[in-house]
Amino acid sequence: KAGVTQTPRYLIKTRGQQVTLSCSPISGHRSVSWYQQTPGQGLQFLFEYFSETQRNKGNFPGRFSGRQFSNSRSEMNVSTLELGDSALYLCASSLRQGAYEQYFGPGTRLTVT
């Protein structure tokens, strides 16, 4: 079974631009969560989508948003990029909301210059 895939793997953007990252969960998985990983703050929860609805949100500004499609694929958008948004963005999928086993993708490395 294919794992979680994320595209693109690497991205360089300029401050003020916006970016969209994509995540395809494991086939059959319906819940997708997004995390940000930085050297200073570590891994932090951004939000979780299940059945095309955002169910939970972490403590991030409104510039961070996302959506989930009917096939469970998810996208994450960051508007008005800041230098501090440079991070590894990880997507994790699980079979259903509330499942403890979450499977992470390889991440998208975003660099904001």
Interaction residues for another protein, span 45-64 (CB under 8 A): 45, 48, 50, 55-56, 58
| Cβ neighbours of 31 (radius 10 Å) | 22
SS3 at position 74: strand
Q: Return the residue of 8, 61, 80, 99 that touches another protein, per CB under 8 A.
A: 99
Spatial distance between the Cα atoms of 87 and 35, rounded to a whole number of angstroms: 10
Does 2 sit near another protein (CB under 8 A)?
A: no
Letters for 12-51 (x = contact with another protein by CB under 8 A, - = none) are -------------------x-x-x------xxxx--x-x-
CA distances (Å), 75 to each of 41, 71, 90, 110, in order?
A: 23, 12, 11, 14
| Chain positions contacting another protein, by CB under 8 A | 4, 31, 33, 35, 42-45, 48, 50, 55-56, 58, 90, 92, 94, 97-107
